[in-house]
Amino acid sequence: MRVSNRKFAITGASRGLGAALAIEMARFGTQLVLLARTSEALQDVADVILSETGQEVGVVACDLANSQSASQAGAKLAAQHTDLDGLVHNGAMWLPGPMEDVSDMDIQACVASAAIGSLILTRHLLPVLKARENADIHTVVSTSGIPNRPLEGASVPFTAAKSAQAAFVHGLAQELENTSIRVTSVFPGDFADVPATDPAWNTPSSDHALSNREIVNAILFILNQPRRVSVRSLVIQ
């Protein structure tokens, strides 16, 4: 696989899709730096990866909803991991419910985690990634970021946040078109979380519902394409 023997940073890697992606990429020989709001939250994932692969992953605390935390994490990554080959933006705050039921702080955190934090982290890492022969910036958006989609349980702030993230992917892909950095994204619909350590991970589901396993496979499909192939956006539902 083309992700083998490369180094990727993954945000939101302490649970759910981010944890499953980290564990699966480690199984394929990817070196990893994992980010989440606290480094302690990543310990279970780091322990699984160490147990299965012998790899000691890097861990960086990063609260994407806090611009100062995102800036500090970006500066730390850029200084300590100059051999970084890719960044996967997975971390974001899920926020359901009608507008009148969500708080001002929830709105701010939701939009900041998906959009502002990702932009800040990316800005700090661009010089490092540009210096690599081949690099990737991949973003897990959501079908909520597709124009005119039904809310389907998502809140207006979450839809706005994911729409901003989709615009970030679109703009960054244009800006970096003639560089060594490939910009890609996946737009998953609702999916269930299956731990990558669960026996069910290797058992195809008998129903039509998506699981994070399909999302992980889609991300790896995108990242493992030849360098001349750029999957700018893949909708999976």
CA atoms within 13 A on the CB side of 124: 23
DSSP notation for 12-48 = STTSHHHHHHHHHHHHTT-EEEEEES-GGGGHHHHHH
Residue with tokens 């990866």: 49
The pLDDT value given to residue 103: 95
Interval 17-75: pLDDT, tens: 999 999 999 999 999 999 999 988 899 999 999 999 999 999 999 999 999 999 999 99
Q: Is 101 exposed, middle or buried, given 0-12, 13-18 or 19+ CB atoms closer than 10 A?
A: exposed
Q: Which amino acid is at 237?
A: Q
What pTM did the predictor assign? 0.95
Q: Which DSSP state fits 139? A: E
Interval 155-178: pLDDT, tens: 999 999 999 999 999 999 999 999
Read off the tokens for 67: 């611009």
CATH of 7-236, one of 3.40.50.300, 3.40.50.720, 3.30.300.130, 3.90.45.10: 3.40.50.720
Q: Across-strand partners of 35? A: 60
Residues 6 or more apart whose CB falls under 8 angstroms from that of 107 comprise: 95, 157
Read off the tokens for 23: 């564990």
The pLDDT value given to residue 204: 66
